[in-house]
Amino acid sequence: MSRENVLVSAEWVEQNLETPGVVFVEVDEDTTAYDAGHIPGAVKIDWKNELQDPVRRDFVDRAGFEKLLSAKGIANGDNVILYGGNNNWFAAYAYWYFKLYGHDQVKLLDGGRKKWELDGRPLSTEPVERAATSYTAKEQDASIRAFRDEVVAAIGTKNLVDVRSPDEFAGKLLAPAHLPQEAAQRAGHIPSAVNVPWSKAANEDGTFKSNEELRALYAEAGLDEGKSTIAYCRIGERSSHTWFALHELLGYEDVKNYDGSWTEYGSLVGVPVELGSGKES
């Protein structure tokens, strides 16, 4: 798969700020970053309040997604360029989510907000208004989303990639180290999973590593290219980043994101859990 089909550079974005049919969307967990300054013309999506069901632990449904994109002024034919903070975690999650609901013309800004800011490119606090559309979503594409039963069945058979930090994988931490460590679930990882932290797929400036580096990374970790793969993390956002690397950049065919991730798995009764660094392969 060609990188140009799924990634754009910060330079490209700066040259295409006024291009008709291109919509820039900042996706964050904490939208105060957007409010303090965003790429000129970009609209924002709040990962927690707009992409998650407010009551059940799930996504907004198809109708909810249609309503959201219509209100944001995003049309079916628009080229959507996603970017965000946290090394594009939530932008990658939104990318996966757009794909899940069948929006094909979507790309990530390589490096996200970090690269944009480190480059010293312009940020705007101007309010952005886009005329509402009538967006139509497709049914969820089940080929890229894994659920818990499938994950349990995949132990020892499919590639399971745990993309959390080594300490979370080993069971020493329950969340990334910028978050408090209280949580109800058990610590550890899914047996037979290999630990390839999402961060290994990214350069320091947030851009993705080259395909050659990525291929070597996953091969060295013991991922079998001939097998199906399920990626997971804690809440499914970092694993969207790795899903992007495996499925969109490297073109591995059957790759799913387990969005329930450790928050669900570590709370299940009766499933096997492994502690420690796991087997090195």
Binding site for other proteins (CB under 8 A): 33, 85-87, 114, 117-118, 120, 165-167, 172-173, 175-182, 197, 199-200, 204-205
> Exposed, middle or buried: residue 242 (CB in 10 Å: 0-12, 13-18, 19+)?
buried
- Nearest to other proteins of 29, 254 (CB atom): 29
- Nearest-approach distance from CB 120 to other proteins, in angstroms: 5
- Nearest to other proteins of 28, 66 (CB atom): 28
- Nearest-approach distance from CB 198 to other proteins, in angstroms: 9
- Nearest to other proteins of 14, 117 (CB atom): 117
151's CB contacts (< 8 A; 6+ apart) are: 160, 190, 230, 232, 258, 260, 265
List active site positions: 233
- Nearest-approach distance from CB 47 to other proteins, in angstroms: 16
End-to-end CA distance of the chain: give it in Å, rounded. 27
Task: Please state whether beta strands 106-109 and 7-8 pair in parallel, antiparallel, or not at all (unpaired).
Answer: parallel
Residue 274 forms beta bridges with which residues? Answer: 189
How much is the CA Rg of the chain, to the nearest whole Å? 18
Residue 52 forms beta bridges with which residues? Answer: 59
Ramachandran area for residue 196 (φ above 0: left; ψ -120 to 50: alpha; else beta) = beta
- Nearest-approach distance from CB 134 to other proteins, in angstroms: 37
Type of residue numbered 50: E
- Nearest to other proteins of 28, 264 (CB atom): 28
